[in-house]
């Protein structure tokens, strides 16, 4: 089958080639890929940003989001059958959506939302799971709390805005002024045009900040939290808890050192910091599918590329041009 593999770590390490069709184990389903979406995480994995923690052995097929049709099921699989239309964010070390077929553990998949096309379904697993796990599982937000979502017009931010509003919170977001109407339509109560204003000067007393930009933006975000508030970053720096999550506890001291500055600043301000890295979860995808079918959540797509244009799709995301998710279709 044709696939895009990471031949070696680095910006030029991804290429198209032919690889053997995947084999399936007793817990797996084989999915014929209809569409996949591109995430910033694909760039980070390709470049080797997490190679000390996630031991991918090159060459490996890239791609974290997929929607497609089940073509085979393992001997122990009872909840899916050939012909089912499913979507998934396969678990770490078993990714590979940029291919014609992918084998996925049945615990990582769910029937795709009926209301969404294959392309739309491929756009949502990673960002929907990240939104749910950061807001519900990690932050445990409650109605009436205040949540700041950075980059609310982007693929992740647009999903977090919608879910945070559904959970009954007051939602502020940073976005370009051109996107204000868009993010208000997604549920944002307050929009800060980052080209004209500094959010630190306008916001205060927030319970949670979801940061997808990192660096100075993360440092500034700590100051808008109320005492005890929580800043969650999906771009780092990683903390010791992440080493536990990926089963690399021996690296806890290293990651604690990497995140020491932001954690020290958080302590000084009386707030908390957590690095967040989402995990595969088919049961949560099933619950999220119901929210998409009910119209509570909706996908935000920028544009689609053909499968042969996967490298162009990656470049488009890396250039920061995307206003929503970028999807690769098999045609």
Q: Give me the pLDDT at residue 249, please.
A: 86
Q: Are strands 190-193 and 170-175 parallel, antiparallel or unpaired?
A: parallel
Regarding whether 10 and 118 lie in a shared domain, the answer is: yes
- Per-residue pLDDT tens for 207-221? 999 999 989 999 999
Residue ranges of the chain with pLDDT lower than 50? none
Q: How many CA atoms lie within 13 A of 166 on its CB side?
A: 19
The whole-number pLDDT of residue 320 equals 79
Whole-model pTM above 0.85?
Answer: yes
pLDDT at residue 20, rounded to an integer = 97
Question: How many residues belong to the chain?
Answer: 331
Whether residue 226 sits in one domain with residue 153: yes
CATH number of 229's domain: 3.40.50.720
> Looking at residue 53, what is its pLDDT?
87
318 belongs to a structural domain: yes
| Chain-centroid distance, C-alpha 294 | 22
CATH value at residue 111: 3.90.180.10
Q: How far apart are CA 53 and CA 35, in angstroms?
A: 28
Say if residue 240 is in the same domain as residue 262: yes
Same structural domain, 110 and 144: no
- Quote the mean pLDDT of the chain: 95
State the total domains in the chain: 2
- What's the pLDDT score for residue 321? 72
Q: Nearest Cα to 102, choosing from 94, 93, 110?
A: 94
Same domain, 118 and 248: no
pLDDT by residue (tens digit) across 160-183? 999 999 999 999 999 999 999 999
pLDDT of residue 243: 83
Task: State whether residue 318 is helix, strand or coil.
Answer: helix
Q: Are 47 and 31 in contact (CB under 8 A)?
A: no
Each residue's pLDDT tens digit, 16-67: 999 999 999 999 999 999 999 999 999 999 999 988 889 999 999 999 999 9
């Amino acid at each position: 089958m044709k696939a895009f593999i990471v031949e070696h770590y680095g910006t030029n390490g991804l290429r198209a080639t032919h690889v053997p069709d995947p084999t399936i184990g007793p817990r797996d389903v084989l999915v014929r890929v209809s569409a996949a979406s591109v995430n910033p995480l694909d760039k980070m994995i390709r470049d080797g940003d997490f190679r000390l923690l996630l031991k991918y052995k090159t060459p490996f097929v890239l791609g974290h989001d997929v929607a497609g049709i089940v073509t085979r099921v393992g001997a122990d699989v009872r909840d899916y059958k050939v012909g089912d239309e499913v979507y998934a964010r396969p678990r770490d070390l078993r990714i590979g959506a940029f291919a014609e077929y992918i084998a996925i553990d049945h615990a990582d998949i769910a029937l795709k939302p009926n209301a969404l096309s294959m392309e739309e379904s491929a756009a949502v697993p990673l960002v929907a799971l990240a939104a749910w796990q950061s807001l519900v599982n990690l932050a445990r937000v409650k109605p009436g709390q205040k949540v700041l979502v950075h980059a609310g017009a982007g693929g992740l931010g647009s999903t977090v805005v919608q879910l945070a509003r559904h959970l009954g919170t007051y939602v502020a977001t940073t976005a370009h002024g051109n996107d204000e109407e868009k993010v208000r339509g997604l549920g944002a109560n307050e929009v800060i045009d980052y080209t004209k204003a500094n959010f630190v000067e306008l916001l205060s007393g927030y319970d949670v900040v979801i940061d997808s930009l990192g660096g100075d933006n993360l440092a500034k975000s700590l100051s808008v939290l109320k005492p005890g508030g929580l800043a969650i970053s999906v771009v780092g720096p990683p903390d010791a808890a992440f080493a536990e999550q990926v089963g690399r506890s021996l690296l806890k001291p290293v990651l604690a050192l990497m995140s020491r500055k932001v954690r020290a600043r958080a302590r000084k301000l009386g707030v908390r910091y957590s690095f967040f890295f989402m995990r595969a979860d088919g049961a949560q995808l099933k619950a999220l599918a119901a929210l998409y079918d009910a119209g509570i959540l909706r996908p935000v797509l920028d544009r689609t590329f053909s499968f042969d244009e996967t490298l162009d799709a990656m470049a488009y995301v890396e250039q920061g041009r995307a206003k929503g998710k970028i999807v690769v279709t098999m045609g």
